[in-house]
């Protein structure tokens, strides 16, 4: 089990470049299964644990993955059907994307229930609804899911609630279905749009990208392409948060897209001085720090991934604030760890209230990826030494986070 040791109190200054988006890279990697021949060249692939695990799963299916300088070459012409390893699928929630991709390529998929961060109930009912609408048979037995179809046909899929995972799987399966598929109440997150743009670069016909209604004209033969994965806005917000809590001034270099508006707005409200530029975002901590109220919501709303991090920010404002969680019911497990560091937090239903707090170093445990990132932010703002255990979870989603923070002036060390 790895750990990080942080001595807080250093003001962060300088420039940091964000990596490719984890949430975009994973569905795109699994989408390559749908390409029968030719090769895909991917740039800006983040060097993180979940990506390496995805490569291992692809290789199990006979897919070639090679790194050449700053890009990855993926060839799927020798891909064959076989159930993926339960141990690898069990580590990562995004392995659900194998269902849509393998169903489209092989007409069948057998998958153990996927793992990943534990945020309470994470049903896959909407994924299976999409497959059944396209003509597939879905069976669940114990902890295994089997989906099969001799022939997929386009249909209209209406999701009762917005689901990123179900939207991704519906798009992947619809690529192989005959005729047009209309996906209503589709997720609008930027990583869903990036997947659709990648598939379009491979020859797919998809319209409505970035809206709540996607139209996929299936049955088109896909080909290889060269593609650059979008920059990670969650990573961008993480470094902005680090600068805010340390009263620093940094420039985070990366592509600024419309989804950033929901991320920077609370920072404005808390007193940060922010300048949006063509090649990134600059934040100065400013003077007084004010509380605010935040609600997580599907895009274009505030992303649930940043809920734990911004709770730390609210603890350091003059009048506190609250975060209302509307996506994952058990996102709040991080709160106990922050309370060990002096955070004054109170949960009422789906809301967590943060009162002005003085944070101190301590021994804490990363219970999931973004909870771990929140502990790093808290450690940077704390008095004394913080030891964060189980930091391999953080490495699932952040490339070289220790090195990047040290380059900004943080006193942080990674230990195995």
Contact by Cβ (8 Å): 323, 297:
no
- The dihedral of CA 91, 93, 96, 98: what is its sign? negative
Q: Give the N- to C-terminal CA distance of the chain in Å, as an integer.
A: 7
- The dihedral of CA 325, 326, 328, 330: what is its sign? positive
Q: Active site includes 383?
A: no
Which entry of 117, 196, 202, 315 is annotated as an active-site residue? 117
CA distance 396 to 98: 18
Q: Token digits for 166?
A: 């179900």
Whole-angstrom CA distances from 265 to 215, 301, 307, 328, 376 are 32, 11, 14, 22, 22
CA distance 244 to 377: 9
Whole-angstrom CA distances from 203 to 28, 130, 215, 217, 306 are 14, 22, 14, 11, 34
Close Cβ partners of 57 (under 8 Å, ≥ 6 residues apart): 84, 85, 88, 89, 95, 98
For the annotated catalytic residues, the residue numbers are 117
């Amino acid at each position: 089990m790895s750990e990080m040791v942080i001595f807080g109190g250093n003001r962060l200054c300088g420039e940091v470049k964000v990596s490719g988006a984890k949430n975009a890279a994973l569905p795109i990697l699994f989408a390559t299964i749908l390409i029968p021949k030719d090769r895909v060249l991917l740039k800006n692939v983040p060097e993180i644990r979940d990506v390496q695990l995805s490569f291992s799963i692809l290789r199990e299916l006979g897919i070639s993955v090679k790194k050449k300088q700053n890009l990855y070459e993926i060839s799927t012409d020798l891909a064959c059907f076989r159930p993926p390893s339960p141990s690898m699928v069990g580590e990562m929630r995004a392995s659900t994307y194998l269902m849509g991709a393998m169903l489209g390529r092989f007409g069948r998929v057998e998958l153990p229930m996927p793992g990943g961060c534990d945020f309470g109930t994470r049903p896959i009912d909407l994924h299976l609804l999409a497959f059944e609408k396209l003509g597939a048979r879905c069976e669940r037995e114990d902890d295994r899911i089997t989906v099969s179809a001799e022939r997929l046909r386009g249909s209209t899929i209406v999701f009762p609630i917005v689901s990123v995972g179900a939207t991704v799987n519906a798009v992947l399966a619809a690529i192989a279905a005959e005729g047009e598929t209309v996906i209503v109440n589709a997720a609008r997150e930027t990583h869903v749009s990036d997947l659709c743009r990648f598939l379009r670069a491979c020859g797919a016909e998809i319209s409505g990208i970035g809206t709540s209604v996607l139209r996929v004209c299936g049955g088109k033969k896909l080909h290889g392409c060269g593609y650059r994965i979008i920059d990670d806005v969650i990573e961008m917000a993480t470094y902005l948060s680090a600068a805010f809590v340390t009263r620093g001034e940094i420039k985070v270099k990366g592509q600024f897209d419309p989804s950033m508006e929901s991320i920077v707005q609370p920072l404005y409200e808390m007193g940060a001085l922010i300048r949006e530029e063509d090649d990134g975002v600059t934040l100065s901590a400013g003077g007084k720090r004010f509380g605010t109220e935040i609600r997580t919501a599907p895009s274009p709303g505030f992303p649930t991934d940043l809920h734990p991090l911004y709770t730390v920010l609210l603890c350091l404002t003059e009048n506190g604030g609250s975060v209302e969680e509307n996506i994952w019911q058990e996102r709040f497990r991080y709160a106990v760890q922050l309370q060990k560091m002096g955070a004054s937090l109170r949960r009422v239903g789906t809301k967590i209230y943060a009162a002005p707090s003085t944070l101190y170093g301590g021994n804490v445990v990363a219970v999931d990826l973004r909870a771990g990132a929140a502990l790093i932010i808290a450690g940077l703002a704390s008095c004394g030494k913080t030891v964060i255990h189980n930091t391999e979870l953080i490495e699932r989603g952040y490339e070289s986070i220790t090195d990047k923070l040290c380059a900004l002036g943080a006193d942080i060390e990674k230990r195995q």
